[in-house]
Amino acid sequence: MGTLKILDDDGREDELDDNKPIELDTPRFKHAEGNLPTLKKKLRKWPSSLLSDLTELSQLKREQMVKNDKYQIMQFGIEERKLESLEQELTIKLEKLKAEAAHEHLNVAKEHLQLKVDILK
């Protein structure tokens, strides 16, 4: 009894190459040397449309991630500017309160001096 031979798509006998998948669902047999069948390897290929869809989706995902990163950077910049504006606003309000307090202090001092002048008259 003979041995089973594995052939490539072009009919050549394959050396030891386990990287090529073997068609399992409907193997094609080729008869050689008497009545011994030989198993013919068939490379599995992705349909080009599925492969291009996968490539396109991968590219879209990368682009979306880049856009999300840019958006997050922009959002961070906006929040940073908001905080800077609030800080400036609070600084201005504090300076205004200090000026009002100094003005009020001067008014009190003026009234006090006016009272002394009135007493001395």
pLDDT of residue 91: 97
Q: 3-state DSSP helix/strand/coil percent for the chain, to nearest 5?
A: 60, 10, 30
| Closest alpha carbon to 4 in 44, 42, 43, 32 | 32
pLDDT of residue 46: 58
Residues 7 and 26 sit within 8 Å (Cβ to Cβ): no
pLDDT, averaged per 10 consecutive residues of the chain (121 residues), comes to 56 53 49 58 64 90 96 97 97 97 95 90 78
Contacts of 41 (CB under 8 A, 6+ apart): 6, 7, 8, 9, 14, 20, 21, 22, 23
Say what the pTM is. 0.44
3-state secondary structure of 29: strand
Domain spans in the chain, listed from the N-terminal domain onward: 5-40
